[in-house]
Structure 1
């Protein structure tokens, strides 16, 4: 049976939970699109996150990889289009590092695109009633660091891979007045569908990026 690698992050920025890891744990061991889901937690630490990712890629041997991260303030499942070759941290990571304008891969291109069928995934999620969009920026913190590193490592392999940002959980949003959130069961069900679509559908051509 093939394997799907699903990564989530440890909590960061003063939070006690990270919804990306909560949903990854919930899907660990499921069979989706005839593939076994293996969830791996990544540290919210520059450099170390990619070392942990390297280990997971080697051990899991995935046919598809979806990395997931928390984006407080976003209101939907955001399928990221592009990862850029820069670390530029607004806050320190969990090891206290705060790189500014540093390349992720000195020999790498300026950017990589997702190799997931992101527009088709967004369309399928919306058809099922889940809030979703194509995002044009993954930021410049550890999420983008992992997204770029993932695409750099899997370039030319034919393995579908990419990144998805998700909102806070309701308990987190309660500590951030006005911040949107989605309950964990919704995030889990939507991610299950996103993985199914990511493994089985082909990309569609729709203008406007956001499918508006």
Structure 2
């Protein structure tokens, strides 16, 4: 199928614990309203906070859409900035999900590497978006928390050879509104797509300018 449009899939999580309204899914729905421009097909999905659902849903999203980029968004009660996660981790999943389930192995992919990094340079994205004056504070992290966020990220990175990203957002109103988070996600994703297109353009070029 020849399609000139870029395909992007963005997920947010459903309710869990004290997060009866999950800021990540609200922010993703705001992003959907804004869109990523005429050249990008954007698909969004809500992900239940369940290990076994992630095991089936994330591979099916990659298979169904074959996106150039998949971005997962999660909420962190500790976050006060929009946080770009550099990598996903394979081990240490001890917390029960919303179905009171936890993997027996406490790992994501048995025999997989301990850590998989995104091909996207999150430090660069952070600097570029901050410089663009999006009005939201950004930071970069190497620890997505060893819960469903980290688990989903690792699963996606493993399936896509690193062509995935994870963004943590703070709870709504602490300090940002849904609209501000949606605008921030849009700015971040557009920079990620720009960086990916440049890296693909440089594939056949030995000289880095």
TM-score (norm 1): 0.83
Tell me, in whole angstroms, the C-alpha distance in 2 between the residues paired with 1:19 and 1:144: 17
Q: What residue number does 1:39 align with?
A: 44
Which of 55, 58, 72 lines up with 2:63 in the alignment? 58
Distance change >3 Å, CA 133–CA 100, structure 1 → 2 = farther
Which of 192, 195, 209 lines up with 2:189 in the alignment? 195
Question: Displacement of 1:56 after TM fit?
Answer: 1.4
Which of 12, 16, 33 lines up with 2:20 in the alignment? 16
Contact 2:51 2:101 in 1 (8 A): yes
Tell me, in whole angstroms, the C-alpha distance in 1 between the residues paired with 2:165 and 2:38: 17
Following superposition of structure 1 onto structure 2, how do residues 153-164 of structure 1 map, counting pairs within 5 Å? 153-155=159-161, 160-164=163-167
Contact 1:104 1:149 in 2 (8 A): yes
**Which deviates further from its counterpart, 38-47 or 24-33?**
24-33
Q: What residue number does 2:146 align with?
A: 140
Question: Displacement of 1:13 after TM fit?
Answer: 0.8
Which of 99, 104, 107 lines up with 1:103 in the alignment? 107
Tell me, in whole angstroms, the C-alpha distance in 2 between the residues paired with 1:89 and 1:184: 31
Tell me, in whole angstroms, the C-alpha distance in 1 between the residues paired with 2:172 and 2:187: 19
Matched, 1:79 2:84: yes
TM-score (norm 2): 0.84
SS in 2 for 1:83: strand
Which of 116, 121, 134 lines up with 2:120 in the alignment? 116
Question: Displacement of 1:83 after TM fit?
Answer: 1.1
Structure 1 segments unaligned to the other structure (5+ residues): 171-179, 204-212
Q: What residue number does 1:2 align with?
A: 6
Structure 2 segments unaligned to the other structure (5+ residues): 200-209
Tell me, in whole angstroms, the C-alpha distance in 1 between the residues paired with 2:26 and 2:163: 23
Query: RMSD value over aligned CA atoms?
Result: 1.9
Q: What residue number does 2:202 align with?
A: none
Matched, 1:169 2:155: no
SS in 2 for 1:47: helix
Question: Displacement of 1:70 after TM fit?
Answer: 0.4
